[in-house]
Amino acid sequence: MTKLYETLSLVEKTVYRKLLDGSTYSKDDLWIICCGSAPRDIIKSLRRKGLYIHGRGRWQLDERHISGDKKEVIIATAESKAIHSSNSLKLAKRELKRLPNAFERNQKKLLELAGLIKESPFSNEK
């Protein structure tokens, strides 16, 4: 097996071995072997670790991981990591846009809470 395989949890190894047959699997197909974890979360974890898994809701391991050709596996892993990095960047940009509004909402809620505490009969600030 590969170094990647050694870093996988037991559940991740089980899902990985299932995907190695090249078939496409749904969350229902994988649910029982995920031991209570959401299949989507296990797939996301495998992708973060460099496995190129196609699909949304129905997943299939990229054939280059199955081929056994070391060069193809390296390319598929690099592709998977690049896709994950791009998705992460997009998410960070979206979240950054939310920051000013989230900060303002948080300040309002903290002021509201401070006002309620001040008006409380248990407050020492009277």
Show Cβ contacts of residue 118 under 8 Å, excluding neighbours closer than 6 positions: 125
**Whole-number Å distance between alpha carbons of 40 and 57:** 7
Model-wide pTM > 0.75: no
DSSP character string of 36-93:
TS-HHHHHHHHHHTT--EE-SSEEEE-HHHHH--HHHHHHHHHHHHHHHHHHHHHHHH
Please give the chain's pLDDT, 126 residues, in tens.
Answer: 467 778 899 999 999 999 999 999 999 999 999 988 999 999 999 998 889 999 988 999 999 999 889 999 899 989 989 998 999 999 999 999 999 999 999 999 999 999 888 887 776 765
